Amino acid sequence: MNVQDFVTFEYTKEASFQQASYRYEGDAKTGWRILREGQEHLSLPAGYELLRSIRCGVCSTDLARHHLPYPLPQITGHEVIAEDESGRTVAAEINASHHATGSALAEDCPFCRKGLPTHCPDRLTLGIDRLPGGFAPWILVPKHNVVEIPQGVDANISVLIEPFAAAVHATERIDLEGATRVAVLGAGRLGLLILAALRGKRETIGGSFSIEAIDRQEERLRVATSLGADRVWDDAEALVAGAHDPPPFDIVFESTGSPQGLEVALSLASREVHLKSTTGLASMGLSHATEMVVDEVSLGPLVEGNDSFVPLPTESQDAALVVGSRIPTEMVQGIEDAGYRTVVVRQPEDLKTVSEEVRSGEAGPFSLGLVESLESVDRLLRPWPDREQGLIQPTGSIRVADVGQDRTGLLSPMLERGVKIGTSRCGDFHRALPIMQTLLEKGIDLGAIVTETLPATELPRAFERACSPGNIKVVAVHPG
Ligand SMILES: [Zn+2]
Ligand SMILES: [Zn+2]
């Protein structure tokens, strides 16, 4: 049995840090007990390896952690590279699912079984949800989440693998076919990685779209150019003011990390806005924008006579949930013709009954929702205050029917111009590594994003520095 004692920083509800003592006790074969201040804190099943943290990046999720719906205090940090028992440098994927730990329960889990382990309902998330993160000197990582970093990759590049994989995944979730101009709004920690991922994608699969960056700070735009942006813009407001119909960009990635960013992105996009920020804050009439990103649910319009916006069902049993008194029966029929079983709720109070059925497993989950208001979108995303789960299953879609309603908030660009909102979260490290290598070969240095490193013993200062305007990515370095 292994025993590892250490003292480390925890992040608190008050958005501050405190120190606490921890003990990990156990091994990969029998599982682990985690003690905090001598008290039972968390127990982990078999399948977790003990790793020594080397470096861990500070990300916007860490800075907004107090807005997120997971317990605090918590040892944060999820962009971590570490050393395993045999001295290899490895990265840690963050979703500790049944699949990741090699649990036999994976066969009974609807998400692990379908190859969607990042949405496993029983998952813990490294440095975000309960599982201690990489700002601690030691971490416990599911064995299938340990990914070896090829030799010769600079530590300031390999430490970016987690957010870079998320950026690559974002570019895989959108349809770049026929796009001529793609913009990234906000050339910060995440935006710059999306720019690089787009460049890597264009280098590998071809395509002639231009990659453009929008940010107020000249220094960031300089880095954007070095990472592969073809054009840069320093004035989003001027772009918005000059945006006609159709707006200048086919696709806009929103990565400002501010709730206002979505509005700007929507006025600049003719086809799709891809949302990646998890600020935990309401945006354009939508309270659960963050949860929509966490669940990777997409949102778009459904206009009568144009069902091209309805995604096709992936399985014969796929079900759609229709909520609203004004949605025409022809639209419901259209969804059924596309191959969905439908459940239709005409009165808002009846949604409660359906929710209860989903909660007890009698109904759903639904892969498609059709609604007529943003309130219903929120209710489909998070119907229960005590549970981080929606009525629409992860990677599913919600469509808003055009029933002549007021065009408030998001509804205006969506229903007037047909703009869709796509979302994405974590990516696969194995798919991101070769793209990282391609960029290196092309002389593109991702490490330019890391603007400061500080010892992990000065974590509160590292967070302060990460918020300072001149800084992009701050990385905490463990001694050793
Ligand atoms: Zn992150
Ligand atoms: Zn699972």
How far is 371 from 141, CA to CA, in rounded Å?
40
**Domain tally, the chain:** 2
- Pair (35, 70) in one structural domain: yes
Structural domain includes residue 291:
yes
- Average pLDDT for 285-292: 90
Cα(63)–Cα(67) distance, rounded to whole angstroms? 9
- Measured in degrees and rounded to the nearest 5, phi and psi for residue 390 equal -115, 175
Distance 244 CA to ligand 2 centre (A): 46
Confidence class of residue 271 from pLDDT cuts 50, 70 and 90? very high
Is 62 found in the same domain as 147? yes
* Cα 425 to averaged position of ligand 1 atoms, centre (Å): 9
What distance in angstroms lies between residue 440's CA and the mean position of ligand 1's atoms?
A: 22
Q: Are strands 95-96 and 124-125 parallel, antiparallel or unpaired?
A: antiparallel
Cis peptide before 246 (omega within 30 of 0): yes
Q: Is the dihedral of CA 88, 93, 94, 99 positive or negative?
A: negative
| CATH, residue 134 | 3.90.180.10
Domain interval for residue 123: 2-159+446-477
**Residue 111 included in any domain:** yes
Model pLDDT, residue 307: 56
**Same domain for 388 and 458?**
no
Q: How far is CA 253 from CA 18, 186, 187, 215, 266, in A?
A: 35, 9, 10, 12, 10
Mean pLDDT within 81-92? 96
How far does the centroid of ligand 2 lie from the alpha carbon of residue 380, in Å?
A: 22
Residue 434, in any domain of the structure = no
Residues in the chain: 480
Residues 112-116, mean pLDDT to the nearest whole number: 88
Whether 154 is covered by a domain: the verdict is: yes
How many whole angstroms from 101 Cα to the centroid of ligand 2? 10
Contact predicate 265/238, CB 8 Å: no
Same domain, 54 and 89: yes
d(CA 236, CA 218): 13
Q: 87 or 470: whose pLDDT is higher?
A: 87
pLDDT of amino acid 177: 86
Q: How far is the CA of 345 from the centre of ligand 2 (A)?
A: 30
For residues 167 and 427, what is the distance between their CA atoms, to the nearest angstrom?
A: 7
How confident is the model at residue 244, as a pLDDT?
A: 78
In whole angstroms, give the CA distance from residue 291 to residue 195: 24
Q: Both 246 and 270 in a single domain? A: yes
User: What distance in angstroms lies between residue 94's CA and the mean position of ligand 2's atoms?
Assistant: 14
How far is the centre of ligand 2, averaged over its atoms, from the C-alpha of 117 (Å)? 6
- CATH assignment at residue 277: 3.40.50.720
Q: Which residues surround ligand 1, an ion (CB under 5 A)?
A: 59, 61
Comparing C-alpha atoms, which of 77, 75, 79 is closest to residue 18? 75
Q: Is 30 within the bounds of a domain?
A: yes
Instruction: Determine the residue type at 424.
Output: S
67 and 155 inside one domain: yes
Average pLDDT over every residue of 447-461: 97
Same domain, 273 and 137: no
Ligand nearest to the CA of 96: 2
- The whole-number pLDDT of residue 106 equals 95
The ligand that comes nearest to the alpha carbon of residue 95 is 2
Residue 39 lies in a domain: yes
Helix ranges (H only) for 279-393 are 289-294, 329-337, 350-359, 374-381
**Percent of the chain predicted with pLDDT > 90:** 78
Give me the DSSP letters along 437-474: HHHHHTT--GGGGEEEEEEGGGHHHHHHHHHSTT-SEE
In a domain, 436, yes or no: no
Q: What angle do CA 464, 467, 469 make, to 5 degrees?
A: 125
Q: Over the Cα atoms of the chain, what is R_g? A: 22
Task: Give the integer Cα–Cα distance in Å for 310 and 169.
Answer: 22
Whole-number Å distance, alpha carbon 418 to ligand 2 midpoint, is 35
Residue range 285-290: average pLDDT? 90
Angle at 65 between CA 21 and CA 52, to 5 degrees: 45
278 and 254, same structural domain? yes
Give the list of residues 6+ apart from residue 449 with CB closer than 8 angstroms, or none.
160, 189, 192, 193, 223, 227, 472, 473
Model pLDDT for residues 28-67, shown as the tens digit of each residue: 999 999 999 999 999 999 999 999 999 999 998 899 899 8
Residue 202 and residue 109 in one domain: no
pLDDT tens column, 352-374: 999 999 988 888 789 999 999 99
At 182, is the secondary structure helix, strand, or coil?
strand
- Ligand number with the minimum distance to the CA of 125: 1
Predicted pLDDT of residue 316: 64
- 312 and 458: one domain? no
Tell me, yes or no, whether 129 lies in a domain.
yes
**Residue 345 C-alpha from the chain's centroid:** 30
pLDDT at 436: 94
User: Are 404 and 259 within one domain?
Assistant: yes
Regarding whether 412 and 275 lie in a shared domain, the answer is yes
pLDDT recorded at residue 309: 59
Mean pLDDT highest for which of 86-100, 164-178, 292-306? 86-100
CA–centroid distance, 109 to ligand 2, in Å, is 5
